[in-house]
Amino acid sequence: MEPLISVIVPIYNVEPYLRQCVDSIINQTYRNLEIILVDDGSPDNCGAICDEYAEKDNRVVVIHKVNSGVSDARNVGLDICTGNYITFLDSDDYIETGFLKKCIPDYEFDLAVAGCTIFYENKQKEKRIATTQDSFFIENKLKFGEMYYLVEHSIFGYVGAKIYNKRIVENLRMENIPFREDLFFNMAAWKNATKIFVSSETGYFYRQRENSELHSKFNKPIPNITQIATRMIVNFSCYSRKENRTLSNMLIRTYLIDSIYKCILQNENLTENEKTKKIKEVFFDSTLRNAISISFQSKLEFLFTVTYKLNLPMIYYHILKEIV
């Protein structure tokens, strides 16, 4: 018999997209599912829609709770799920009909990692990000080149398009931080995983919309950016010191670039003086400075790393405002 997969869906203010999301789960060719819909105090009709699905399909479990954010909603799902395996789907995303069937091999595994398709709302444009050309299974850890590819393409930056053996995440929970909480969950899960299936599938459709939490103005308390970034200095025993430094550099640099843009530049509660002060705090952290090297992968990364190494936060800030 197919092992039970718990699909956890945190839901908040996504009424126009929710039916497409839930239908894509219910219609999976992989049938042995526990579908956990966590209504995180949504102010629209999402709660009623969830209840409607629970009446039609006995695989659907609905939790209604007071709004406390996506991390807590996922944690509620983790607390009650009973599946052998666990996967997450954001409520404005959806998956192809055969996605789960293709992502779960016929043998026991700790972690399955797939790619995704990024698509832009109201635009005829999409981008497929594959983890690999051909699916493969390994015991122990990914080779450095394979891990480098996953980090470079931010595959570990989101919990979607992954299936976790409950054994490796039963003691893990999402951290209540306002930005990039997925990454820390994946890094912790990765350390517990030895049997890994890497799938070439890209049937997880990740919706980009202007009014999503990721793309809206930031109005939460600013996280301790340097403290969080320091935790991204990785030390995997299966990689050399140079390889660990390379992975750390990529993770830290991406997090700092995204955090400065999202948490500081787009923060509607900060004055210009407060924004510049916050950026200077990030730039003058000596621990991070030693972990970052120059990158030529994109103009934005090159701008950041050069100005960071030369202690020029204000130049970075003013150029960033002009180009994004």
By the 8 A CB rule, do 74 and 12 touch? no
pLDDT the model gives residue 101: 96
- How do the domains of the chain map onto residue ranges? 5-208, 225-323
Measure CA of the first residue to CA of the last residue in the chain; give whole Å.
51
| Residue ranges in the chain modelled with pLDDT below 50 | 214-215
Angle between helices 15-26 and 46-56 (to 10 degrees): 20
C-alpha span between 306 and 294 (Å, rounded): 6
- B/e letters for 271-308, b = 16+ CB within 10 Å, e = fewer, are eeeebbebbeebbebeebeebbeebeeeeebebbbebb
Query: Tell me, what's the pLDDT at 35?
Result: 98
Q: What are phi and psi of 45, to 5 degrees?
A: -95, 15
Level-2 CATH architecture, domain 5-208: Alpha-Beta Complex (3.90)
Report residue 248 CA to chain centroid gap. Answer: 17
Dist CA 26 CA 278 (whole Å): 46
Q: Rounded to the nearest 10 degrees, what angle do helices 144-152 and 241-259 cross at? A: 0
Q: Which amino acid is at 217?
A: K
Per-residue exposure over 81-91, b if at least 16 CB sit within 10 Å of its own CB, e if not: bebbbbbbbbb
pLDDT on residue 214: 47
Query: How many angstroms from the chain centroid is the CA of residue 73?
Result: 15
Q: How far is 267 from 259, CA to CA, in rounded Å? A: 11
Give the percent of the chain with pLDDT over 70. 94
SS (H, E, C) the chain: CCCCEEEEEEECCCHHHHHHHHHHHHCCCCCCEEEEEEEECCCCCHHHHHHHHHHHCCCEEEEEECCCCHHHHHHHHHHHCCCCEEEECCCCCEECCCHHHHHCCCCCCCEEECCEEEEECCCCCEEEECCCCCCEEEECCCCHHHHHHHHHCCHHHCCECEEEEHHHHCCCCCCCCCCCHHHHHHHHHHHHCCEEEECCCCCEEEEECCCCCCCCCECCCCCCHHHHHHCCCCCCCCCCHHHHHHHHHHHHHHHHHHHHHHHHHCECCCCHHHHHHHHHHHHCCHHHHHHCCCCCCCHHHHHHHHHHHCCCHHHHHHHHHHHC
pLDDT at 61: 98
Give the torsion sign (CA, 105, 17, 129, 70).
Answer: negative
pTM of the model: 0.87
